[in-house]
Structure formats: structure tokens, C-alpha cells
Structure 1
């Protein structure tokens, strides 16, 4: 991260790239059920059985030692043992008292296709985005016996055809880079989060700028790439080639950026290359280039090499990379000196027979027919004399003299739980190490949360993988899980993710251990839930938020902030909204400020009636300008006791903004906003990027590993923000401004009682944007030429909500955790009668009755005991025996009983009702006596507030006396006539009273 950085990308350096545009697309149909299955259908009727999870990372015959299994398997009837893979029962080769043998394969990433907006646009079928390990599940059936591999005995017929060669296909993969890398030269200038056409790992980008004009015969390490990658040759070897059929090479070429001509070469050595052709490549497209080898292209041992060269045309950085290549040729039926070898033969007429002899088979070699890998067969006979009955499909055999023993580290007990969608409306997916704090969070939401009591479900991410993606780690599992949990047709649910996710390619870890994955880079939690349950693509089916914690204490720290926020006694401070903007030039500062000024009215107008506190950058500079919001947040500004919301608009980066309020954990910034936590919205590039693998505390080294500034505001204990949201990547000014307009209408134009939870607010904005912009997915646009990048869609995808999506924010009247039927106040002679009625109560300790003379400043005038927890209707009455003159206001504060969270006593939450008003005789409220007056009059104010100063004004509006103090008015030297006494209270109230001078 550079010191100077821009609003356009995480590199806050060149604002000339900021884009102001509007791009409309066509279409947008409602999505159908997402993937056709939820992934748990195969478990029906089997949840109560014992289960073991088996990890496999290599193709071949695998052995499980029965002694490594739980007792339920050791003691079981071995005929009842079943094995399942991707929801299908497979045939076990052997299962006895000592061992279980089965044919297993590593993870090919097939489910990755579900993450692409068109499954056909997954262009590299040879790798998984997330995992190399496949999962096989072993169980003891309570019903049918398990499937076993057949071992048909076959005798050769006179018409059997002898096979003399097999079709060998060698594959060489290059996976050290990503087509949408974090490194500027290796990625497009604008990034979508969703998996668009050809998004994949690949080899190094071959660019003249980095590798010069020489032909590359190894996958290079460009100078801009700082990891330890060692170049891997583009070499191949033909082993035991036979036959007259052409020997074919197919190269999968990935264009990276710009346009170039790819030169393709082959030869025995790097010094004997010949050109086999050129290919025009451009703009992230995928190409397969196939050519036939000539005898002079490889030596006597079958060794040869490929070469590649880029001729740059157009923009700097144009180039391509090699994702993989295959070499296909006829090969002698020979195990090549290996202990395990696959042999592939073309299809023949069904009902015929084939015979073959495998040369160089080690002693003890057994042969298996793996044409159908779920139902392998044991081939009878010796490797030198095999007879096989054929169908009309290609034949694939595995010859193996050894088996791979599954280590105990790859064997684990699994428990499956039958879930009911209707039983839960608050879903928590947590990393495995955070289950304790996640469970306590769920307990709070189910028992002591104010208002609605939820029905939470806490599920570890590994259990989500096991039950909804056949044990394979992938965000596909989360989508399937949510799709299942909304299958009851109820979308009034929430999803809270507790755990980190790393999608920064250069720092990502295979198998995504103890992560709760997001989708793509830039990361998008919205894409975990969009288009499910019948809602439109690009719109979340249910609101989703994330606590990107790495240890339980961080979750508890956040929970305590939520408990405090939802139990505030004094919430008037939430009406203060800070508008803070950056900008590198005077024009930018003015422009961004105008954006914020344009939405200030919705804050200050009814029903919110708040105050906007502008913090305008005053110095136009490309450098970061440091500032602090501590005075406002800490209540150190006169009349500002805290801030309800901070909205930033300007340039940004993961650890700073160009007008930089900084890390809340930075002692030099002075943040001490204990118990008064704002919500924080960043409009700036990359400030909300949680997915770059940075999790260190503030001040730790190296700096590039310190957690994002936005995350610091969320996780800092007892200060910072209770909600943080913003964009994880590019934030275009005009797009952000339109998003902000919709957001503010959702937040501030509705009263407390009708304002949705923060997650629903973002869901509504996503829907509004979708309907307005009408973007869609079609093959032409998904081809990914840059003109089809849609900034509005990307912005909606990449706005990440940090925190609890069910949190009701900026509440200034508070929803009571009782079912309040009515609340009223009536004047009765010299008293005011306050009455209220509840239909039910939960953990209700007592009510406080409060009164105000101006609707802003309240005092407690009494307490009424509550009924604890009850479903019985209750009636309450309170008499105000000393009511105020004029109009006064009443409200209730409901106080919960104390609770214990994480071993700490937390005082009962306090929430407040709406206001009701009562009007009584006004004349006694402000009294000037005597009136009329000849010399001195005295001021009396019937209100619980002191008089700060007063003015005396004549009938022409001229101030005769200004900023006077005390309660006596001397008019002895004034001419007879009428005057106005104007009184200013310590609370800022202004009152007027006419006085007559005799």
C-alpha cells in the first residue's frame, strides 16, 4: 500500500482514473431454485447413523485400517458399511475386519462451476479454486447392505480383439498466478466479484515489459512478482509412443489485459524451436490452440519443449499466460515402471470383448475397471492376460501394485443434524474455533435481545461443508445452506457470518482452513445469498453481515457493544450525523461536499430531525491529511454528546482515507466513545476490504498485516463503531453518490417504528438499484470485454456489512421488549394521568416514566414495577402530581433484568417508547411579574431548566437589552409601550413573552 492512494482502486494514487458514468443493461429475470439441489438430499433417513469423514488428495486405491475407525465401525457387520461421495453411494472394493479398500480421486473443483454466472464459463476444468482434497463419507447403514465392487469372471471369445495401444493424455498445469490478481499489471482495471468467464488460476503473465522479447521455454517469474516462485519448464515427454495417429498438443492460453500476438513454438531443446503459429489474444478471453507434433519436435527419449513469446500491441502490460497444456498420443500398454498407472482405450461396439497385456507390471499388480468411478470392478486374471466385456463407452483401467493408506489425520468423526427451515430465523455460520462465542451470541438474540426474540441456529463452517457440499470447502456450501433454510418460503431471516475469509490470491490458503468464505476477489458476502428463494439475482434473499473475528474475545467485545447499543438510556446523541469528505483538489473537495450536502436535508427533516455536523477537508493535497473525530464522538464539542452515524466520501485504501480519521485503536487519535457507538459508512475505494489476509492488531508489524481500518473500528472493545459498511474495492464517485441517496432515504425518511434493520436497509437498496439499472447476465456481457463492467452492480455486490444485520440502528425512541398495546397521557385538573397496556412482557424489571418540557430534555419522574415475563395482558397507571404548564412530553423507559454474558454481569437493557404530549394552561409556564410594570419586573419559568440569558426587544425588533443574566428586568428608564422578553435556556430553548411598560 502506497502512502498516496486514490478513490479509484486500492492504489490511492491516480485520481485521473475516477469515472463518472451510468451504464444501463437489459434484462433481469427472477432466479429459479439455485443449483437444483441443496446438497443434503442424500442424508434423508441417515442422520442418526455413525459417520466418518475420509480425506483423499491423490487418485488411486486407498486403504482404511479398521483399527483407525471408531468402535461403531470396528464392531459393525462389515456388510453394512457404506461409502458415499458427492451424494452418491460408491462401491467399496473390500471391507473386512482389518481393512477397507476403495477407489478415490482428488477434488477436481466441479462444484466451482456453480459460482460462475454461467457454469459453462468455467474454462479450466483441472483444478479446484479452494481445495485439493475430496471427501468420502463412511457409515454403518441401519438398512441396506453397502455396495461392493463386482469381480466378473470373463473368458475370451473367439471374436475378442486384442488391444495393442492405449490413448495417453499427459496434463501439465501452471497455477502460480490468478487472472484477476491483486497485482496491478496482472489484472483488469475494474473487477467484478462474481465468477465471470475464464476467472481462474493460471501461469505467469508473459509480457514483453517483464520478460523481454526472448521466447520463454519456462513459466517465468516476472520482476513485479515478489513471491518465491521458481520457473517451471514448458517441457513434455512422450513415453513409449506407438502407432501412426497424430501426436497432438492442446494449449490453454489465457489473455490477461490489452491485446497482443502470442507466438507459439516447439522443439527438442530451447535452441531448436520452430514456430507452429501465432494467435491474436485480447481482453481476458480464453483460447485453446491445438497442433500436431512432428518427429523432429522431440528427441529419442520423447523429450521436447514448448516456447511462447508476446508481441505487445496496444496498452502497456498486454500479455497472456499458459493455464495448462495436454499432450495426447498412442502409447504402448506399459506401466512405465510405476506402481500405479491409468490406461484409456477408445469406445468399441457394445457386446464385444477386448484382450490386453500390460507390460512391466510389478509383482502383485491388480487391475480395476474404473470407467465408472462410482462402481469400480475388479478385473479377473493377471495383468499379462486380461479379458474384458465391453459396452459402447471408452474403457479406463487402473493397474496398481500398491495402495495408499489413509493417515489418521485424514479420518474424523462427523455428526449430521437434520435441520428444519421453519425452526430458525437467525442463522449463524461460524469458523470452527469461534463456536463458543457464536453460541453465546445466539443465546443473546434468543433470550435477552430487546423486541423480537429470534430462533437462532449456530452451525460450524465444516458442518456446512459436510452437509451441503459433500465435505468440500467452498462458498457453494453456504449458498446451498441458505437456499435450504429459506425453502419454507420465509425470507424474514438473517445470516451472520462469524470468521474471516482470505481471497487475496497471493495470501490465500488451500482448503481455506477455519475460514467462513466469501465469494470472489473483491470479496462479496452478498453473492453468498443473492438470487435465492425466488428473489432476483444481485439482491440478497436474506440480509447478511459479518464479524471478521479470529478469536472468541473479539466476538464477545462486539457483542458487548451490541448489548450496550440496544440498551441505551440516553439516545439523543444518535441524532448527530457527521458528514466527512476528502478530495485531492479543490474541485474534488467541493464536489464531494456537495454530494453530502445534497442529502443533509433528509437527516435534518422530520421524522428523523437530526443535526448534520460537516467535517470538510480544507487542504487540497495528494497526501493523506490526518484528522480525528474524537471531539465529536467523545462528547467534547459543546452541544454534541456523541455521534449516531459517520458518512465518509472521498479517496480510500484498506488502512487510510485521504482525509484520515484513522484507526480507533490508535492512541494518538484520542477515541474514547465509550457506550456511544456510531454506525460508519465509508464511500471510498477498498476501505472495507476484509479479505486480504490482514488480521494483526493496530501497531503490530509488518504493517501490511495490520487489520483493515474499518475492521478495527468494529472490533475495538468499548469504542469505535457498532456497524461498519462500505465498498471492498472500486468506489466510483457518481455510483457511490446514487447509492448514498437511496441509502439515506431508507435510513432517515422513516420513523423508528418502521425503519428496517440495517441488513434489510442494504437489501432494499440492492433491490432499488437492480430495478433502476436493470442489469442482467448474458453470454455477450459475460465475455468480459471492459465495456461490460457495470459499476452499479459491482458496488452493490462489494458493499460489505460488518456487524449484525438484524441491528436496528439510529433508534431514538427505542422499541420496548414488551408488546405495548397502548401508551397515553391525559390532563386531569392539576394532574396528568399516564397509562399504558402490555399484551406480553419478557424479562421486564420495571418502567421509568420520563417527562420533558421541550421534547428533547427528559427527567425521570417515577418508577413502576414490571411483571417480569408474562403472556398475560397488564395495565399500568402513573399520576404526575406536579405537571408542567404548557405542552409537555412523556415517554416510557423499559428496563430489563440483569444478564450474564461470558461470565460478566451486564446491566439490564433499557429501551424507550414513543413520545406522547399533553397541553395544559400556558400562562403559568413563562411569567413576567408584575405585568404591566413601571420599574422592575421578575422572570419566572416553570420548567426544569435554568435561564441562560435574556433579551429585551422593542416593537420594531431592535434589541434594547442583550445577553442579560439574572431574573430581574429594569424598565424604569424606558418609554411607555409594549416590549418582548426573549429567554434562552441552558438547553438552547427560546421563549417569548410580551411585557407592557406603564
Structure 2
């Protein structure tokens, strides 16, 4: 039984695999093209006769020999009906999506022949040959009156429903697991029908023949939930006389077809009937939907007002059939369109039409008097470009909009700094035309790559520059300005899967994508590549820093995700990179998202950030935020990490989200989180691997483990470009044939250039930090240096380069004192990231300088030997009472402090200020600091909530002033033009060493233009203990120059009498009264508001109680 069970399944799998691979083998889809000829593409949206005037053709297109004009459709020449009267007349059809079947598994599961996933426009290509083109023959047969007229033809009326997508992801009732290729007959379909509802539709067998045979109803239904159900198909004259015609079993989300014979009793006297569908499932959520139904019956040859009509003729054995068409329009033309590419014109009268027959074959006859004039916008000159297959090894597929920027990248990749690649940039529209007969869709890219790889070898990379929308509900017909992916969940790897000898599901070459929308975004990313590959940061040590961020919805998940990442740390520490892993773990066991602050790590530099937790396209959990979120303060210029996200949908860049600055952060069109990190200019990430839809823990952890293995510990792959590393991981995972792991590999999208090398170092780089590597320590922590018999020199050494096990490293330590020089030489073993060496010296109590040199003999070949020396100057008299001294005492590692005032006030939350406030910022540091506005970033949000984003303030020079406030601080003043409204301000500052303020200043406030009215005084607290606070709020035009306040005891004794000036910029004046010790009881206050002439404008009186 085992053999009988397994062998047929194996045969089916082999046949399917052969069927799929055969579709990508020669002859190629461009084999019909003669690259030496001119072509014009003609777009068709309606089935029928069309005309193109010679005058509508592009200027210069040769029409001098009309007989040589040729028309091509889907690689086959089409019969032209006429080229007379300076126009071309031909029969054409729109796009029915036939090539979509190549994206289904099995191909036969594309069961809806009436719907194309990607476009509706058919494509025809007009050219000029060197011999006469194909023409439609004209047949004129004298009427044979002895030949009986055919009584009827077979009418097929299709009703197509396109309300929803059968495998939609927008509702809870969806598959628990998705492959990226199309399956289960995926299609647009009707609305869901649940067991508590009915689907009812009237139908009519119009002009049914009197001697009618049987009539049939063909239906295609889709399951819309994971459960199985039975659907009753009812038909009848009315809703009260329905009979159960059939019961259809639908398994899960699969499709089911059914054909029902319509009985005479199902129709009324006018041949009208009712169709009803009802589920018998007891599961209230077990839905289904109707995708289409077709009525098939014998119909009279009648048109009655129709401009066009198709008649389907049943097979006969005679050479001719005679037909009488009733109600044909004037000047109707009759064509045999049984073969759409080889139409035949039948010249005869409608009431006695002689039709040539092909014995035993069904034929389709078209009657029409309508000729659609093709709009000029649908006529386009095409210049086919013949692509060399062997030479290019870096292929860029992009759009016309992004062409110039993509070419700029290609030029860089062709240069020596860019890798000496042989790039080829292609326009995706040309691929549609050449490799999918002018019809949009990912099949074109896959057929093109099949040609390039089969004919030119597989040592290539594919970089897709452009976005793709594959979420069915958001897709745009004809895919304008898109570089399409396959499926939803999306898979770019399927574009090269199974090609050029690669096994099924295995990508033949690496694929990356830059989902850009503008040329500037592409150029910004290219600059990041150059900065990364040219090491503009100046050193490589930051790339050895790895960040592990883990989440989880409960304690078990938090522990599982944390420990899973911990198991990868040895690969980081002990591998080829020799890195350091820092872990951030979610702190609270909850489903809600928890923010995490990794700004310091990002700005200092990380080579890789790995996230493992939950997520969505707009956030991760823990939430690291957007790279462009100014509140986060990300500023990692030249230090761009690679990122790996495991979190559902974090890598979903295919759902039509393209707005980088929406009104609200939760907007449905906001740019996805991962894409923001990639596209962010001069910050963010250099490459990202993330799942395009849902992530499953076990497949994702297995994938990540392989990725780390190939990146950090496998010498055969670690030096490869990231695209090839990901390709190796995918191949390794897929060949294990686990369904979930295969889908995870397919849906793990590489965002970024596949040619980018993450590890670009081939040598170690032993280095000393000139400020922080050397420390002088006393004999023990409880002894001063002066009381110690010996002192210790602690040396912290770093390896900024590759970790190589080999010869020991020599370290030379020189002790310089007033009494002489002492030298020691030590040997240390190779280390991956950092090592500490402690060397004792006799305390001569005259130390002046310590000099350390790594590899003084330059025995080891390093990336940089200029960083092998560090010195520490020591003033013995200053340090002898200390227990330690190091370069940290003099290096600049302290970030600056900022103090902010608006209209001379330190704001409180939601405080009200006057229009056009003056912004004053004091920046202070522990080191000398020169006034520089570039060191201060001010961002303003012009709304009170999350309905808008922060915008950076661009300083206008005539509004800006800078002045020093001592050697270590400066003041910045800016005269704003901010009008009435609600605002939030965000300010950060840097010092000359690049240290950013640890905490940004952030404050919401309001501007109210209150020019007139009365002043308001608030006195608090009351009762009071140690002080009284007076707060005076005055309108802008109150005319108050000063305030005089008096405090009286209950007996009328004057206790306090002071006058203070008000600030003309601020609407608030506040001051404090601190009573002398021992004062308690009830007191009275009097506050007088004075104008410029010290005249009282307004007076406030009140009582307060002072408590003991």
C-alpha cells in the first residue's frame, strides 16, 4: 500500500514541476519580435472590430505599403480585415488574464477565465514586414435555398461578480496560512454569504429557441472560511416555487464548480427564473461567495437593436450552414472569429447568411456594425531593445519615473568602487511588451529572467527599483509605475524561482528591492550605499555592534524570544566578525506595544539590528519607531545598520502605503516602518530582511539561525553580498521541503541592494582609543596611588576588524618618569572584539607619561596601523591622591545641556503664549563650545495631537542671533512668526564632538492672540506654609510696565512692599513671596498694575492664611 499511495503523488509532483519549468523554457516570449522593424502598440479595452487611422500612427511610421502591414497579438500574427481608406480595421479582444495561470499552482487552478489579476487592456503590435501581411479572407457563397436554416445557436451569458477577493486578508475569516503563489482558484468574487442569509438573483433565457434543447446553469463558487460547507442551489419560477437542483460541497477556501440543468418547470412563460444559493452549515461564520454563473441554452438568431452579437454554432458535417439573423443593424458585418487571430469575413445578407463550416468543430460568428476608433492615447510607438544575456551580471528592473536615478546606481556599480559589475537597466514596460505580449504582470519579469539566466548563466543579481501593490483590494489596473512582485503575501524570490535548472521553489539568483516612489529616494539610497561601502564613518568598529531587540505578548513569549536571540550571540562574538551583542528585552508581559529607546546605540553605530517579536506594517513590539521620527532623535549618518525583522507584516511594503508624511501616524497610507528605515536620507538602515506578511516562530527562528550562520561563521559565505547570503539561506531552508519554512523563505523580502556587502573587512584591526584605552590604577581600590608600592596600567584594546585565530599580538608599554624610562612587552592571544591587559609597574612616584603600542614590529597585517598607539599624560601631583586616572578625565564624552525659554519664560505644559513668540535656547557643555546654530535642531508640530508630524525649523538669518555665554555655552535667539494655534516643540543639541543631548526638550503649548481685556491674578497655595506664588496673566495690549505688591498683617502693618518690572514679550508675570520665619496668621495682599507713568491700571486685593 505504501508504494501505491506514494508513487502517484510523486508522479503528480513531478508532472507539476515539469509543467511549471517548461513554461519558462525556450522558445521565449520575445521570439516573435524582429528588432530591426518599427512597432506601434495598440491598447484594446473592448471586444470587437477596431480601426486605427494612418494619421493616428506615430510620425515616421511607414504606411506607404499598406499591404505589408502586420498585426501581432500574444506572439501570433493577426488577420487584418482592411487597410483601405487610410485606416486599419481588425478584430481584437481585451486582456483576459490567460498568462496569470503561470502564477497558480497547479496552473489549472486558475478557474475564472473572465478575470485578469493585473489589467484589462489587450495589447496588439503593428509593424511593417518585407512581405504582405496576414489578411482576413472574404467569403461570398451564393445562397443555397435548399439548405435548411439553422434554427438556433448556443447562447452563453456570463455574469461576473468582482466585489471582493476570495483570499482577502482584510477580515478575520481568512486562511491561517498563505503561500505567495496563487492557489485555491484565487479570484475576485462576490460578497460573502453566511448561513443566516441567502443569495438570490433573477435570470432570463432571452430569445430562447422554440425547439429548444436543454438549458444549463454553470456556477463557480468560492469558500470564504476555513470550514467545509454544503451549498444548496435552488432554481424556480419564483422565490415561492424553488426546487433544490443540486448540493455543492466546498472545502475550506477552495473553489467548487457545478452545472445544473434548468427544467421547463423552473421557468415562467417568459423564460424567466430565480436562482438562490443557501449554505446548510451550522457554523454561522462558514461563508461562501458566487464568483460567476453562466447561462447556456439554445437561442434564436436575433439581435433586435444590439450593435454586436456573437453566435455559437454547434458542430455539423456539412460544408455550409444557412442562417437568418433577425433584427440585424444596418450595414452589419459578419465574421467567423472561431480563431481570434484568423478572422474570416462573410459577405452575405443577414436573412440568408451562408457560413463556411469546419466539420465536427464549433464555430463563433460575430455580427456587428460597430467599429471602435482607437483613441490616440492607446497608440504608442515602441522601440524594442534586444538584451544581451551573457554579459550583464547586475540587472536592474525599474520604471520610467525612476529611470535616471536607477541608471545613476548602475553607473556606480560599474565603477571600481562599486564592484566592477556589468549592469543592465531595463524598463519594466519593455519587459511587459517583450516578454508578456504587452500585458502587465510579474510573468513578464519572470520570463525575462528565464531568458537571461538560461541563455547567459546564473551568476547574476536582480535589483527591483520601484514599488509594487499586490494587496488585491488596493491594486491598480495596468500596474502604473510599478515593478510587480508575485502574490499576496508578496514574494520577490518567486520571480526567479525554478529558473535555469534551479529546483522548484528555489530562487535561481539573489533578488533585492528598493520600494521607492521618487527619484530622490533612489538617489538618497545610492548615497547611503556609497557612504557605507566607502566607509565614510572612518572606522569599522561600529559594524561589529549587534543589537538584539525581543518582544512577546506574555511571559512565555518574552522568555522564548529572548532566549532564542541569546543562542545566536556566540555566532556574533566568536565568528568571523567577532562582534558584541547587546540585548533589549520587552519589560512588561502584555499584548500592548511597549516603546524601547535604542537611539544611543543607533547613533553610535550598529552593524546589525535583529528584532524578534510581534509587529505590523506601522510598528514593532517593542516599538523602535520610525527612523524619520524627530522625537526619536535618530542621527546615524554614515553608520547604517542592516536590519532583520521578525514580526507579522513589518516587511509588508506591498499594501499601497506610500505617504511619508501623513496627517496622522496611524493613517492607512503611511509609509511602512521598515521602508521608512530604508528610504530615510542620511539615517536609517542600509538593508532590511523582513517578512512580507505573517511570521511563524519556528520557521522564522530557523531562518534567522541560518542567516547568522552564513553571515558570521561560514567562511564560504560571510564575505558574499547580502543578496547571495540570503539566496544561500533560502536554498538551504527550501530544500528541506517544510511547507511553512518554504513560505517563510519566499516571503522574506530583501529590501536593499543585493550586491551590498555587509562584511567588507578581510584583516584584523587591533586598535587603541587615544582617549579611553589607558588607565592608571593604584595597588588596590582602598589605597591612593601615593601610598601604593606598585601601580597598574590597565589597557583596553579593541579589534575593529576581522577576527582571525593565529599568532599572538605583541603589546609594548613604556613608562616615562622623571627618573627614567621603563619598558615592558606582553603577548596576548588574538581576540574578536575587545580585550583588557593589566601590567604592574614599580611606583617611582614620578610618572609623567604612559605610552602603549600594539604590534610595535608591524608583524600583523591590519586594516589600519595608525590606531595602534595611545598615550596618557599624567601630572603626578594632581593624581597621587586618587585611586585611578584615565583619559576619560579629559576626553569629551559628556553631552550638552539645553535650557529653553519662550517669551522669556520656561514653559509649563500647555501654557498660553502670545503670537510671534521669541525662542531662546541656552546650550551648555563641559568643554569649550563655539556658537553655532547647526548644533541646535528645532522641530515644531502644528497640532495638539498625533494628527500631524514634526517639521524641522529652517532658520532665517534675519530672525536668528547667536552670542557666547562664556567659553562653554552659547545662546540662540530666534524671532518666530508663529500665529494662534496649538503647538508642540522639540529641541535637541550637539556639541563639537557630536555628543547629542541625552534628553530632547519637548513641550506642548498654545498661542492665543488676546490683545485686549482684563488681567487675571492667581495666588497659590492658600493656605500656605513657606511661600506664596503670584501669577499674573495680562492681554498683549494691557499697557502694564511694572507690578507693585504689598502684604499687610491683620492689624494693617505693612510686611512687604516691592515693585518688579514685567516682560513685554510674555503674557505671564510670576513672582514668589517667602514670609519671614515665625509669620503665621491671616494676611492681606494688594497688587497694583502700573503703566509707564507708574499710574495704577488695575488693582487686586485678597487674603491668605499662613500656617505654622
TM-score w.r.t. length of structure 1: 0.76
Structure 1 residue 583 and structure 2 residue 572: aligned?
no
Task: Please name the residue that 2:469 is paired with.
Answer: 502
Task: Please name the residue that 2:491 is paired with.
Answer: 524
5+ unaligned residues in a row in structure 1: which ranges? 1-24, 218-232, 636-641, 776-789, 815-850, 860-885, 892-911, 951-959, 968-998
CA distance in 2, matches of 1:559, 1:924: 45
Task: Please name the residue that 1:462 is paired with.
Answer: 429
Task: Please name the residue that 1:644 is paired with.
Answer: 607
Aligned counterpart in structure 2 of residue 748 of structure 1, from 706, 712, 716: 712
Decide whether the 8 Å contact of 2:56 with 2:376 is kept in 1.
yes
Aligned counterpart in structure 2 of residue 628 of structure 1, from 597, 616, 625: 597
Task: Give secondary structure in 1 for the equivalent of 2:434.
Answer: helix
Alignment of 1:204-283 (within 5 A): 204-208=191-195, 212-213=196-197, 215-217=198-200, 233=201, 235-257=203-225, 258-283=227-252
Alpha-carbon distance, 1:244 to partner: 3.4
5+ unaligned residues in a row in structure 2: which ranges? 1-8, 772-794, 823-840, 854-868, 888-1108
CA distance in 2, matches of 1:399, 1:930: 109
Structure 1 residue 325 and structure 2 residue 296: aligned?
no
Alpha-carbon distance, 1:888 to partner: 12
Alpha-carbon distance, 1:712 to partner: 0.4
**Segment drifting more, 667-676 vs 155-164:** 155-164
CA distance in 2, matches of 1:795, 1:264: 39
Structure 1 residue 946 and structure 2 residue 871: aligned?
yes
Decide whether the 8 Å contact of 1:890 with 1:915 is kept in 2.
no
Alignment of 1:795-944 (within 5 A): 795-813=744-762, 854-855=766-767, 925=814, 936=845, 938=847, 940-943=850-853, 944=869
Alpha-carbon distance, 1:725 to partner: 1.3
CA distance in 2, matches of 1:260, 1:947: 81
CA distance in 1, matches of 2:286, 2:116: 27
Task: Please name the residue that 1:123 is paired with.
Answer: 111
Alignment of 1:1-80 (within 5 A): 32-37=21-26, 39-44=28-33, 46-73=34-61, 75-80=63-68
CA distance in 2, matches of 1:711, 1:920: 44
Aligned counterpart in structure 2 of residue 103 of structure 1, from 91, 113, 121: 91
Number of aligned residue pairs: give it: 807
Task: Give secondary structure in 1 for the equivalent of 2:281.
Answer: strand
Decide whether the 8 Å contact of 1:889 with 1:915 is kept in 2.
no
Aligned counterpart in structure 2 of residue 964 of structure 1, from 875, 884, 887: 884
Higher relative contact order (Cα pairs below 8 Å, separated by 6+ residues)? 1
- Cα 1:496–1:38 shift into 2, 3 Å: farther
Task: Please name the residue that 1:983 is paired with.
Answer: none
Alpha-carbon distance, 1:172 to partner: 0.6
Alpha-carbon distance, 1:556 to partner: 0.8
- Cα 1:109–1:889 shift into 2, 3 Å: closer
Task: Please name the residue that 2:160 is paired with.
Answer: 173
CA distance in 1, matches of 2:721, 2:540: 17
Task: Give secondary structure in 2 for the equivalent of 1:398.
Answer: strand
Task: Please name the residue that 1:483 is paired with.
Answer: 450
CA distance in 2, matches of 1:93, 1:858: 85
Decide whether the 8 Å contact of 2:718 with 2:759 is kept in 1.
no
Alignment of 1:43-442 (within 5 A): 43-44=32-33, 46-73=34-61, 75-141=63-129, 143-156=130-143, 160-208=147-195, 212-213=196-197, 215-217=198-200, 233=201, 235-257=203-225, 258-314=227-283, 317-349=285-317, 352-392=319-359, 393-442=361-410
Alpha-carbon distance, 1:405 to partner: 0.8
Task: Give secondary structure in 2 for the equivalent of 1:123.
Answer: coil
Q: Deviations over 1:230-268 (max 9, x none)?
A: xxx454443343323111111112122212221222233
- Cα 1:930–1:74 shift into 2, 3 Å: closer
Task: Give secondary structure in 1 for the equivalent of 2:91.
Answer: strand
RMSD, aligned α-carbons: 3.1
Decide whether the 8 Å contact of 2:596 with 2:624 is kept in 1.
yes
Task: Please name the residue that 1:656 is paired with.
Answer: 619
CA distance in 1, matches of 2:799, 2:609: 30
CA distance in 1, matches of 2:639, 2:281: 57
- Cα 1:940–1:607 shift into 2, 3 Å: same
Alpha-carbon distance, 1:33 to partner: 4.7
CA distance in 2, matches of 1:434, 1:930: 65
Alpha-carbon distance, 1:113 to partner: 0.9
Structure 1 residue 733 and structure 2 residue 697: aligned?
yes
Alpha-carbon distance, 1:763 to partner: 0.6
Alpha-carbon distance, 1:406 to partner: 0.7
CA distance in 1, matches of 2:326, 2:167: 46
Task: Give secondary structure in 1 for the equivalent of 2:668.
Answer: helix
CA distance in 2, matches of 1:805, 1:721: 14
Decide whether the 8 Å contact of 1:369 with 1:397 is kept in 2.
yes
**Segment drifting more, 289-298 vs 719-728:** 289-298
Task: Give secondary structure in 2 for the equivalent of 1:42.
Answer: coil
Decide whether the 8 Å contact of 1:430 with 1:459 is kept in 2.
yes
Task: Please name the residue that 1:513 is paired with.
Answer: 480
Alpha-carbon distance, 1:159 to partner: 7.0
Decide whether the 8 Å contact of 1:38 with 1:468 is kept in 2.
no
- Cα 1:668–1:118 shift into 2, 3 Å: same
- Cα 1:133–1:716 shift into 2, 3 Å: same
Task: Give secondary structure in 2 for the equivalent of 1:313.
Answer: coil
Decide whether the 8 Å contact of 2:212 with 2:297 is kept in 1.
no
Task: Give secondary structure in 2 for the equivalent of 1:421.
Answer: coil
Q: Deviations over 1:393-445 (max 9, x none)?
A: 11211111121111111111111011110131111111221111111111111
Decide whether the 8 Å contact of 1:604 with 1:610 is kept in 2.
yes
Decide whether the 8 Å contact of 1:523 with 1:728 is kept in 2.
yes
Task: Give secondary structure in 1 for the equivalent of 2:183.
Answer: coil
- Cα 1:759–1:271 shift into 2, 3 Å: same
- Cα 1:424–1:334 shift into 2, 3 Å: same
Decide whether the 8 Å contact of 2:397 with 2:465 is kept in 1.
yes
Structure 1 residue 794 and structure 2 residue 743: aligned?
yes
Decide whether the 8 Å contact of 2:577 with 2:803 is kept in 1.
no
CA distance in 2, matches of 1:913, 1:628: 29
Task: Please name the residue that 1:682 is paired with.
Answer: 645
Q: Deviations over 1:78-117 (max 9, x none)?
A: 0111000000011100013521000001111111111112
- Cα 1:628–1:329 shift into 2, 3 Å: same
Decide whether the 8 Å contact of 2:578 with 2:803 is kept in 1.
no
Decide whether the 8 Å contact of 1:752 with 1:813 is kept in 2.
no
CA distance in 2, matches of 1:297, 1:506: 37
Q: Deviations over 1:301-333 (max 9, x none)?
A: 43323111123335x521211111111111111
Task: Give secondary structure in 2 for the equivalent of 1:265.
Answer: strand
Q: Deviations over 1:760-783 (max 9, x none)?
A: 111101111122x235xxxxxxxx
Task: Please name the residue that 1:898 is paired with.
Answer: none
**Segment drifting more, 920-929 vs 507-516:** 920-929
- Cα 1:184–1:913 shift into 2, 3 Å: closer
Alpha-carbon distance, 1:698 to partner: 3.9
